[in-house]
């Protein structure tokens, strides 16, 4: 098993990681502007964890996010009906780790959020290629799901990259993960999606991040049941761009790594059409937003301006020397994040 941190040299293993990993973050000596070590609660408060996933079905989009800043945790969830356009969401903020257990192990974990009435449980065993997600927010959304998800079967993108001079981030991304089991209730109504048209977008990130962190992010996932073909992407800028990128395309279970991409949209009105492309012209995408989620926090030590857009992607992809793939109306999302934490 690979240790992410070399305790003797305080060096970090950067680049793509295609093996099990020991994310021994406590062994890392975090330093300030003048390379003076940061200790105690100040160091602890700088380690952040994020987990986001979105179920893409033929009837609904269901997204759930966990943000653990050590001193503050935030859980949010939303559902969006493709037919009726109805959007509902919930959010739970809590000091510290109240009601939340979020271990630092990207390969095998049991993430558990429980109150007297609500629960969110995510379990993953990479060795056995098992991912289970259970959601129980009464009156809002109840969901049971199981996925065959592993390093060899799905080829996720796993990278560690610098986040500034003294900071770093490990991230694991994958799209078009197909469910073996999916049971859904939205507002106490049972939903009956076609299982062969469903997929999952997966995003797990953790590390010591810069005090000022920004990103543009996009991900989509789609399944053509008639062609038995799935396609998806994870694309980002302003984060994880040094030494490597977190940009990739999945066609079926094959992953194709990309270099930098460009996000082009109207800064004064990001709810208009987006364009995402790269200089190699291997991807050329359009994104049409249909719904926006906004979060603003303006506190003394924490400032967040977060915008997440749901919508559809269309475009052309030509990667790996394969035949060009052209597609329309693949559901996904984009984000604009600006944070001081």
How much is the pLDDT for 152? 85
pLDDT of residue 327: 94
CB atoms within 10 A of CB 138: 11
Question: Residue range 177-191: average pLDDT?
Answer: 96
Residue 320 binned pLDDT confidence (cut-offs 50, 70, 90): confident
Q: pTM of the prediction?
A: 0.95
Please, is 189 exposed, middle or buried when counting C-beta atoms within 10 Å of its C-beta (0-12, 13-18, 19+)?
exposed
**More reliable by pLDDT, 236 or 228:** 236
Average pLDDT of 303-314?
Answer: 96
Per the CB < 8 A criterion, the answer to whether 58 and 193 are in contact is: yes
pLDDT of residue 212: 86
- Alpha-helical runs (H) found in 107-208: 151-154
The DSSP symbol for 38 reads: P
Going from the C-alpha of 4 to that of each of 23, 35, 159, 202, the distances in angstroms are 5, 20, 11, 21
Higher pLDDT, 101 or 240: 101
Buried b (16+ CB within 10 A) or exposed e, 314-331: ebebbbeeeeeeebeebb
The pLDDT assigned to 23 comes to 97
The DSSP bridge partners found for residue 177 are 200
Task: Provide the pLDDT for residue 283.
Answer: 95
pLDDT of residue 76: 96
Choice between 153 and 38, residue whose per-residue pLDDT is larger? 38
| pLDDT confidence band for 93 (50 / 70 / 90) | very high
Q: What is the mean pLDDT of residues 201-205?
A: 98
**DSSP character string of 180-205:** EEEEEEETTEEE---GGG-EEEEEEE
The stretch 117-128 carries a mean pLDDT of 96
Predicted local confidence at residue 149, as pLDDT: 95
Report the DSSP pairing between strands 2-3 and 21-22. Answer: parallel
Q: Which residues pair with 150 in a beta bridge?
A: none
pLDDT band at 224 (very low <50, low <70, confident <90, very high): confident
Domain count, the chain: 1
pLDDT value at 330 more than 80: yes
Average pLDDT over residues 255-283: 95
In tens, the pLDDT along 39-59 reads 999 999 999 999 999 999 999
Residue 96: which pLDDT band, with cuts at 50, 70 and 90? Answer: confident
pLDDT at residue 19, as a whole number: 93
Q: Domain range for residue 217?
A: 2-340
Residues 6+ apart with CB under 8 A from 8: none
32 pLDDT more than 80: yes
Residue 235: the pLDDT is 97
Q: Is residue 81 over pLDDT 80?
A: yes
Give pLDDT, residue 180.
96
| pLDDT band at residue 258 using 50, 70 and 90 as cut-offs | very high
Q: Average pLDDT for residues 71-83, to the nearest whole number?
A: 96
């Amino acid at each position: 098993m690979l240790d992410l941190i070399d305790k003797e040299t305080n060096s970090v293993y950067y680049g793509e990681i295609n093996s099990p990993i020991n994310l021994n973050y406590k062994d890392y000596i975090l330093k300030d502007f003048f390379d003076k070590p940061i200790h105690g609660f100040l160091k602890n408060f700088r380690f952040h964890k994020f987990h986001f996933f979105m179920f893409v079905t033929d009837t609904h989009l269901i997204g759930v996010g966990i943000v653990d800043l050590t001193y503050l945790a935030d859980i949010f969830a939303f559902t969006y009906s493709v037919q009726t356009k109805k959007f509902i969401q919930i959010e739970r903020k809590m000091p510290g780790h109240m009601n939340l257990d979020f271990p630092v192990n990207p390969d095998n974990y049991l993430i558990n959020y429980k109150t007297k009435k609500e629960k969110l449980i995510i379990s993953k065993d990479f060795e056995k290629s098992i991912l289970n997600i259970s959601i129980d927010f009464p009156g809002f959304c109840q969901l049971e799901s199981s996925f065959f998800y592993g390093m060899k079967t799905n080829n996720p993108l796993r990278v560690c990259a610098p986040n500034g001079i003294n900071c770093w981030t490990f991230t694991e991304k994958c799209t078009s993960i197909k469910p073996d089991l999916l049971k859904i209730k939205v507002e106490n109504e049972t939903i009956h999606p076609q299982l062969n048209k469903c997929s999952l977008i997966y995003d797990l990130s953790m590390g010591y991040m810069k005090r000022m962190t920004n990103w543009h992010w996009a991900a989509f996932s789609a399944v053509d049941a008639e062609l038995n073909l799935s396609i998806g992407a994870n694309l980002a800028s302003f984060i994880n761009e040094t030494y490597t990128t977190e940009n990739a395309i999945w066609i079926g279970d094959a992953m194709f790594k990309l270099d930098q991409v460009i996000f082009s949209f109207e800064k004064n009105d990001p709810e208009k059409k987006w364009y995402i492309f790269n200089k190699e012209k291997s991807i050329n995408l359009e994104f049409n937003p249909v719904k926006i989620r906004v979060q603003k926090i303006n506190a003394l030590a924490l400032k967040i301006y977060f915008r997440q857009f749901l919508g559809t992607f269309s475009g052309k992809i030509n990667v790996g020397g394969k035949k060009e793939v052209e597609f329309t109306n693949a559901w996904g999302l984009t984000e604009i994040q600006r944070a001081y934490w």
